[in-house]
């Protein structure tokens, strides 16, 4: 008899097992596979779309930069809007939970994280930095900066400063986030994209920081906190000094909360400024021997040393002693710079009937007024010339500050004047002077660096004349390694040509010919003191004038060795100076020169140097 237990077991053994596709784990696996597949497809499609958006967005940065520099603000705004659209879409595509979850997948995750970070940072930079900055550029126009009284409205500058400061903070944070992206395991195209974006941020950060710094300083410099008084030093390039020309005229420029007023031009002569028996400021090391009684004693000679800082300090002290007021800064400008600035203004008509333009200013100011007032009374001639000179300066600056200038032309003119060291600025306020230094307008002694040795070639007229209007000059720079110690040998050549006519004694005004009787010279002979500043640590080893070796006295200005010689040129003749220098070290560097800005431009060229003709010391 079969037991019920046995029968139950037999029935159980015959019951068929559920097929695998009916089991829960199968469908779980299927579900996971489907989810992963869908997620992969989702991430893949959105990743491709995000890549496309970023590839369209990032190159627009260079376009926007070019458009902003060109002043095409409308085009720049359109490009920023387009760029913002691409970046926002890329951020949207890479910011959902599925994408975030996929970032935990080995290998794939680091790539997804990099893409998401790139999209997010791009969107932040465009939204929080690029768009506000483009609006700032669009709003900073002559119309918005001009105040009701014809001065400068400082409010747009203050607002712009705040925007740029915030934008600079955004770029700094963006750079840190991009630097934090791990690209050690990312795919090559993505690694390249991160690197490219990092380079873009790095290139934008310094100029943005500089602009932010400038707008932090400029409002106070324009009298936002308190009125500012600046002395303008007008240099006469027809009578050369190391920085440009004799400082024959001065004017006080006052700026009060953007409102500008210009005082009457004050000539350096006619007893307007005292002459001092000792320099009014402490002389730097070597300056007393190099410049003697010319430095720091007379207002007409504040530009005798090729350092605008010392010129400004002398000006500040002499102005205080003469008028009892402490000035807040000094501006140096020469007639050539003024002619550049007139490109952006309408012609100026003088009381004499003369019309000032960019082309007419220099010949009128530096030659024609001296020829016009020519009589037997030199004192009366000089007084009449100074009246016209003062009016030219006065009317030119009134035109420039009148608010009707072509800003683009004016900025181009300023850039050229700064590049040629014809427009110089100094402030006793540390952060303002730091800004001026960054802008290259402080006129320092020649500064060498790791890649370049810079020499200074400076000229000083020595006849008390205005004959440098007829002087032409060129500089040649040669270098070669000729020594056993591998230090480079430098040669600095200077050619000066006197283009006065041969009959200068009768055809040229005595006001131009200067003190030739006092100097025991024939009329029309130009005599120039030349000072060649060699790089700090280098050695001056020789000099020749017109091919004839000359002995040099040992001079220095602080750490700079200086060769000081005198060149004399009769009308129609040329004189040549060569100075040989041995570099301080063995590093091969570019040789460059800074020269006194003259009426006529100085050609600077590289020339070959033959070691057989180099002095060995």
Mean pLDDT of 597-617: 91
The string of DSSP codes covering 15-54 is SPPPPGGGSHHHHHHHHHHHHHHHHHHHHHHHHHHHHHHH
pLDDT tens-digit series, residues 536-577: 999 999 999 999 999 999 999 999 999 999 999 999 999 999
Structure tokens at 78: 């359109």
Q: Domains (ranges, CATH) in the chain?
A: 24-221 (no CATH), 228-436 (3.40.630), 446-613 (no CATH)
- The residue ranking higher by pLDDT, 534 or 617, is 534
Q: Hey, which residues does 488 pair with through a beta bridge?
A: 481
pLDDT in tens, 300-325: 999 999 999 999 999 999 999 999 99
User: Could you identify the residue written with the tokens 């003369």?
Assistant: 354
Q: Which residue has the tokens 């001079």?
A: 555
pTM: 0.82
The secondary structure of 506-570, three-state, reads HHCCHHHHCCCCCCCCCCCCEEEEEEEECCCCCEEEEEEECCEECCCCCEEECCEEEEEEEEEEC
User: For the chain, what is the mean pLDDT?
Assistant: 85
Greater model confidence, 117 or 529: 529
Percentage, residues of the chain above pLDDT 70:
86
d(CA 420, CA 534): 20
* pLDDT exceeds cutoff 50 at 481: yes
CA 229/CA 383 separation, integer angstroms: 27
| pLDDT at res. 476 | 98
**Cβ-proximal residues to 131 (8 Å cutoff; 6+ apart), any chain:** 80, 81, 84
Cα–Cα distance, 374 to 364 (Å, whole number): 15
pLDDT tens for 263-310 read: 888 888 888 999 999 999 999 999 999 998 899 999 999 999 999 999
Q: Which residue has the higher pLDDT, 577 or 78?
A: 577
Residue with token string 């060498």: 448
Q: Which residues pair with 424 in a beta bridge?
A: 332
Chain-centre distance for alpha carbon 307: 17
Report pLDDT digits (tens) over 213-256.
888 898 999 999 999 999 999 999 999 999 999 998 899 999 99
Least confident interval from 152-161, 322-331, 498-507 = 152-161
Q: What is the pLDDT of residue 500?
A: 98
Exposure string of 512-531, with b = 16+ CB inside 10 Å and e = fewer, is bbbebeeeebebbbbbbbbb
Element (H, E) at 452: strand 452-461
* Integer Cα distance of 302 and 248 in angstroms: 10
Residue 96's pLDDT is: 67
- Which pLDDT score is estimated for 38? 39
Residue 392 has pLDDT above 50, yes or no: yes
- The stretch 129-153 carries a mean pLDDT of 73
pLDDT in tens, 490-508: 999 999 999 999 999 999 9
Nearest by Cα to 561 from 327, 367, 290, 344: 290
Query: SS3 string of 170-231?
Result: HHHHHHHHHHCCCCCCCCHHHHHHHHHHHHHHHHHHHHHHHHHHHHHHHHHHCCCCCCEEEE
Average pLDDT over residues 256-261: 88
Confidence bin at 28 (pLDDT 50/70/90): very low
Lowest mean pLDDT, pick from 120-129, 172-181, 407-416, 595-604: 120-129
Q: How high is the pLDDT of residue 37?
A: 41
Distance CA 112, CA 105 (A): 9
Ranking 191-205, 224-238, 242-256, 454-468 by mean pLDDT, the lowest is: 191-205
Q: What is the DSSP letter of 357?
A: -
Where residue 26 falls among pLDDT bands split at 50, 70, 90?
Answer: very low
Give every CB contact of residue 407 below 8 A, 6+ residues apart in sequence.
141, 142, 344
Q: Which residue has the higher pLDDT, 235 or 68?
A: 235
Stretch among 5-9, 323-327, 412-416, 524-528 having the lowest mean pLDDT = 5-9
531 — pLDDT class (breaks 50, 70, 90): very high
For residue 385, what are the CA distances in angstroms to 76, 354, 390, 526?
50, 14, 9, 22
Sheet of 488-498: strand order equals: 548-549, 539-545, 574-582, 488-498, 471-481, 603-606
């Amino acid at each position: 008899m079969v037991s019920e237990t046995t029968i139950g077991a037999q029935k159980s053994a015959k019951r068929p097992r559920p097929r695998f596709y009916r089991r829960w784990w199968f469908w779980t696996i299927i579900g996971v596979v489907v989810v992963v597949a869908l997620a992969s497809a989702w991430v893949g499609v959105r990743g491709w779309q995000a890549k496309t958006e970023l590839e369209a967005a990032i190159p627009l940065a260079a376009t926007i930069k070019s458009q902003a520099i060109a002043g095409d603000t409308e085009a720049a705004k359109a490009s920023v809007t387009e760029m913002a659209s691409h970046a926002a879409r890329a951020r949207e595509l890479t910011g959902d939970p599925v994408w975030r979850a996929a970032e935990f997948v080995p290998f794939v995750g680091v790539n997804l994280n990099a893409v998401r970070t790139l999209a997010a940072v791009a969107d932040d930079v465009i939204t929080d930095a690029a768009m506000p900055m483009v609006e700032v550029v669009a709003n900073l126009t002559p119309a918005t900066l001009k105040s009701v009284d014809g001065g400068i409205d400082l409010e747009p500058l203050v607002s712009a400063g705040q925007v740029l400061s915030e934008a600079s903070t955004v770029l700094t944070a963006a750079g840190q986030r991009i630097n934090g992206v791990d690209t050690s395991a990312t795919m090559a195209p993505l690694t390249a994209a991160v690197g490219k974006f990092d380079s873009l941020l790095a290139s934008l950060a310094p100029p943005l920081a500089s602009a932010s710094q400038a707008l932090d300083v400029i409002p106070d410099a324009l009298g936002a906190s308190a009125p500012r008084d600046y002395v303008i030093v007008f240099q006469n390039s027809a009578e050369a000094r190391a920085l440009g020309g004799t400082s024959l005229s001065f004017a006080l420029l006052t700026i009060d909360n953007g409102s500008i007023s210009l005082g009457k031009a004050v000539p350096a002569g006619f007893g307007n400024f005292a002459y001092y028996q000792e320099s009014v400021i402490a002389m730097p090391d070597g300056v007393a021997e190099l410049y003697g009684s010319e430095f720091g004693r007379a207002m007409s000679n504040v530009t005798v040393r090729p350092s605008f800082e010392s010129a400004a300090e002398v000006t500040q002290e002499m102005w205080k002693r003469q008028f009892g007021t402490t000035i807040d800064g000094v501006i140096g400008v020469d007639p050539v710079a003024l002619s550049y600035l007139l490109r952006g203004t309408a012609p100026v008509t003088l009381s004499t009937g003369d019309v000032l333009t960019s082309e007419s200013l220099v010949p009128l100011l530096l030659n024609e007024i001296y020829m016009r007032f020519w009589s037997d009374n030199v004192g009366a001639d000089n007084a009449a010339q100074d009246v016209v000179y003062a009016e030219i300066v006065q009317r030119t600056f009134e035109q420039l500050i009148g608010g009707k200038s072509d800003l683009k032309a004016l900025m181009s003119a300023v850039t050229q004047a700064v590049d040629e060291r014809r427009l110089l600025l100094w402030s006793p306020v540390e952060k303002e002077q730091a800004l001026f230094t960054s802008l290259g307008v402080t006129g320092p002694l020649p500064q060498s660096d790791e890649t370049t040795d810079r020499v200074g070639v400076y000229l000083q007229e020595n006849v008390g004349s205005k004959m440098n209007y007829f002087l032409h000059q060129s500089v040649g720079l040669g270098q070669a390694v000729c020594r056993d110690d591998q230090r480079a040998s430098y040669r600095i050549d200077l050619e000066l040509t006197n283009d006065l006519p041969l009959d200068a004694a009768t055809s040229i005004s005595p006001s131009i010919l200067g003190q030739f009787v006092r100097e025991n010279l024939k009329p029309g002979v130009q005599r120039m003191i030349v000072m060649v500043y060699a790089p700090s640590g280098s050695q001056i080893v020789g000099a020749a004038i017109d091919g004839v070796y000359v002995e040099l006295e040992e001079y220095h200005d602080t750490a700079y060795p200086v060769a000081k010689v005198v060149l004399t040129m009769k009308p129609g003749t040329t004189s040549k100076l060569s100075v040989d220098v041995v570099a301080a070290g063995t590093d091969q560097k570019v040789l460059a020169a800074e020269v006194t800005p003259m009426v006529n431009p100085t050609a600077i060229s590289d020339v070959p140097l033959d070691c057989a003709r180099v002095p060995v010391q």
